[in-house]
Amino acid sequence: MEATAHAPCRAATLVALPSYPNSVAWSEENLVAIPTEHLITILNPASLTSARGLITLKQNKPFPVGLIERKDLLSPCLQPTCLSRDARPCARSISWSPLGIAPNSGCLLAVCTTDGYVTLYRAPISEYCSEWIKVVDISDLLCDHLNSIHYGALHEIYPVESRPNGIKWGGCNVALENSVCKRFSSRRKRKIITNSIEDSSIDPVRETSVKTSKTNIVNQQTYCGWNGNNSTLCSTDMDNGFTSDYSYRTNKVLSSDLPHLTAEQYASRSVALSSVVVTWSPLLLSSEICCAILAIGAKSGAISFWRIPEPPCYTIELGNASVKAILLGIVQAHKSWITAICFAISAASFSDDQLVLATGSCDGSVKIWSGNVGRLLQHAEVDNNCFSLIAEVTTSTTSPVSTIALVIQEKTPDNVVLAVGRGSGLLEIWTYVATSKKLESAGYYNAHEQVVTGLAWAVDGCFLYSCSQDNSIRGWILHGNALYEASLPSKFPYVR
């Protein structure tokens, strides 16, 4: 810890470097969350010397997606799954809820990890510990919903943009002997693991979980270890490639009820469950309910929306106070990974308040959506049309969208002003006019030399801050239909 009485900034020491650019998240209750490797440190800026909160990220169980045939294991669409070797997940995206959503009237923290899981955490109320408490596993709820509808048409949706380049799409006919995975006879062979002696189908995620678990070599032909998927003992015959799962108490072979899938079906279900970005909406109010919407973007290009209501009463005594998460719907927003989501509320030129949403993808596409606030507050059933598309950015660039900032100016409430930062360092400004339903460009600007990592509007949408991976911060003034660079104070930290 380093701090001086006259310094404009105060420093706090972390256990490691932040996990990703622009990873510092500031809550409305004046708490700062910083993800570092497998830990998320939560600080109180008003008292940096006080106790810190911690969230320890642990390895999650694989999604129960299904089983595939042995011959499909080397399909190109399954390479990301088979080659994944993350021993401990890190945070990929974090976001604070509005004030008043947590049981103690504070904020909830949504955490999306690199293995695709999304979990909600609250501050310890009566636990008297530094570790924050997990209250809702959103990924489990999403998995249950998709399983209940048998994934709908998702098994037919696998984005073209997400497919490996330069590799023929479809099944893989490469023989195991000719693949790079071949193990020569002089080495111990680790063959494909199956569920039972009679079953030749496998679960790639489950196989990976067994391989990465603690494994003991019984002899040159047999491996014995724990299956992390169901905490059972696994015995694998290296010559025959058979695996038997034994109950620790009954010593009986356990069968799996997972469905048999093609490689493409397995891949599409995996990307549908793998989340990459989380964002909270502003607080939504009515005479009957108060809530916030959590938007979760997935690798499939879909966004799931969850309504998190305000608790019926606040408490600092009951540590087991529950938090409800209600699925509103799943919108197929893009054809590739969702990389940025931003909310704003508009009440102009609409019959009711509208929740405006801007989304960006790694394929370079940007879209603006609108949802009726009254409908979002009262809707009781899953509706995949809870948000409707009102505008789409048309541009020649395909550079991935790295960040988005959305603002609705008080002086012109009919206009939605959108700032888009891209991986090339390009900055775009767009204005959507609700009365004419037109999207107008305010120009393209080579703002930075590297990827734009953060954007923030100020002064009612008249001033814009941008930062980049090149360690620069720049200020911009929006005047009319153009953006002009503004000088920052000389004492502003890290100004270039």
Instruction: List pLDDT tens digits, range 57-103.
Output: 998 888 888 888 888 888 998 888 777 766 778 999 999 999 999 99
Can you tell me the mean pLDDT for 32-36?
95
Q: Does the pLDDT at position 408 exceed 60?
A: yes
Q: Does the pLDDT at position 241 exceed 90?
A: no
Q: Does the pLDDT at position 194 exceed 70?
A: no
Q: Are residues 361 and 290 in the same domain?
A: yes
- In sequence order, the β-bridge partners of residue 69 are 201
Q: Are residues 354 and 408 in the same domain?
A: no
Q: Could you tell me which of 174, 473, 101, 468 has the C-alpha nearest to residue 321?
A: 101
Environment class of 493 (CB within 10 Å of its CB; exposed 0-12, middle 13-18, buried 19+): exposed
Any residues with CB less than 8 A from the CB of 358 and at least 6 apart, and which? 340, 341, 342, 344, 366, 367, 368, 369, 404, 406, 418
Tokens 């960006």 -> residue: 360
Can you tell me the mean pLDDT for 456-474?
92
Can you tell me the mean pLDDT for 154-176?
35
Any residues with CB less than 8 A from the CB of 459 and at least 6 apart, and which? none
So what's the pLDDT on residue 138? 97
Determine if residue 491 is left, alpha or beta; phi over 0 gives left, psi from -120 to 50 gives alpha, anything else beta.
Answer: alpha
Residue 219 placed within a domain: no
Residue 283 placed within a domain: yes
So what's the pLDDT on residue 242? 43
Any residues with CB less than 8 A from the CB of 402 and at least 6 apart, and which? 339, 340, 360, 421, 422, 423, 451, 452, 453
- In sequence order, the β-bridge partners of residue 196 are none
Tell me the torsion sign for CA atoms 221, 226, 227, 233. positive
CA dist., res. 446 & res. 397, Å (int): 13
Q: Which domain-ending residue is among 394, 422, 457?
A: 394
Can you tell me the mean pLDDT for 400-404?
96
Contact 323, 120 (CB under 8 A): yes
Q: Are residues 390 and 410 in the same domain?
A: no
Angle (CA) 265 148 326, round 5°:
115
Q: Are residues 272 and 307 in the same domain?
A: yes
So what's the pLDDT on residue 181? 34
Residue 311 placed within a domain: yes
3-state secondary structure of 399: coil
Q: Are residues 380 and 431 in the same domain?
A: no
CA dist., res. 356 & res. 450, Å (int): 29
CB atoms within 10 A of CB 371: 25
Residue 252 placed within a domain: no
Q: What is the mean pLDDT of the chain?
A: 78
Structure-model confidence comparison of residues 53 and 185, the more confident one: 53
3-state secondary structure of 82: helix
CA dist., res. 461 & res. 410, Å (int): 9
Q: Which amino acid, residue 80? A: P
- For the segment 1-13, what is each residue's pLDDT rounded down to a tens digit? 444 444 567 788 8
Can you tell me the mean pLDDT for 46-58?
86
Structure-model confidence comparison of residues 451 and 237, the more confident one: 451
Name the domain count of the chain: 2
Residue 73 placed within a domain: no
Q: Could you tell me which of 39, 26, 55, 136 has the C-alpha nearest to residue 90?
A: 39
So what's the pLDDT on residue 273? 94
Which range among 190-199, 253-262, 360-369, 445-454 shows the weakest confidence by mean pLDDT? Answer: 190-199
* Phi, psi (rounded to 5 degrees) for 294: -105, 120
- For the segment 290-319, what is each residue's pLDDT rounded down to a tens digit? 999 999 999 999 999 999 999 888 887 766
Residue 440 placed within a domain: yes
Assign residue 412 the CATH number of its domain. 2.40.10
Question: What residue numbers bound the domain in which 112 lies?
Answer: 13-58+86-155+261-394
Tell me which H or E stretch contains 428. strand 426-433
Range from 184-198, 226-240, 355-369, 386-400 that averages highest in pLDDT: 355-369
Can you tell me the mean pLDDT for 228-235?
43
Q: Which domain-ending residue is among 331, 364, 394?
A: 394
Tokens 């062979």 -> residue: 189
Residue 183 placed within a domain: no
So what's the pLDDT on residue 79? 85
Q: What is the largest CA-CA distance in the chain?
A: 76
CA dist., res. 478 & res. 476, Å (int): 7
Tell me the torsion sign for CA atoms 88, 94, 100, 105. positive
Our measurement of the distance from residue 101's CA atom to the centroid of its chain's CA atoms, rounded to an integer in Å, reads 20
Q: Are residues 134 and 270 in the same domain?
A: yes
Q: Does the pLDDT at position 21 exceed 50?
A: yes
Contact 311, 291 (CB under 8 A): no
Angle (CA) 273 277 283, round 5°:
110
CA dist., res. 27 & res. 445, Å (int): 31
Structure-model confidence comparison of residues 174 and 62, the more confident one: 62
Q: Are residues 319 and 430 in the same domain?
A: no
Tell me the torsion sign for CA atoms 446, 447, 450, 455. negative
pLDDT band at 49 (very low <50, low <70, confident <90, very high): confident
Q: Are residues 419 and 388 in the same domain?
A: no
So what's the pLDDT on residue 7? 55
pLDDT band at 495 (very low <50, low <70, confident <90, very high): low
Assign residue 288 the CATH number of its domain. 2.130.10
Residues in the chain: 496
Q: Are residues 32 and 125 in the same domain?
A: yes
Calculate what percentage of the chain has a pLDDT beyond 70: 74
Any residues with CB less than 8 A from the CB of 313 and at least 6 apart, and which? none
CA dist., res. 155 & res. 35, Å (int): 34
Residue 411 placed within a domain: yes
- For 213-287, where are the alpha helices, taking DSSP H only? 263-273
CA dist., res. 484 & res. 138, Å (int): 42
Q: Are residues 115 and 35 in the same domain?
A: yes
Q: Does the pLDDT at position 496 exceed 80?
A: no
Which range among 112-126, 174-188, 465-479 shows the weakest confidence by mean pLDDT? Answer: 174-188
Can you tell me the mean pLDDT for 142-156?
79
Q: Are residues 364 and 411 in the same domain?
A: no
Q: Which domain-ending residue is among 394, 429, 460?
A: 394
Q: Does the pLDDT at position 40 exceed 60?
A: yes
Q: Are residues 388 and 432 in the same domain?
A: no
So what's the pLDDT on residue 276? 96
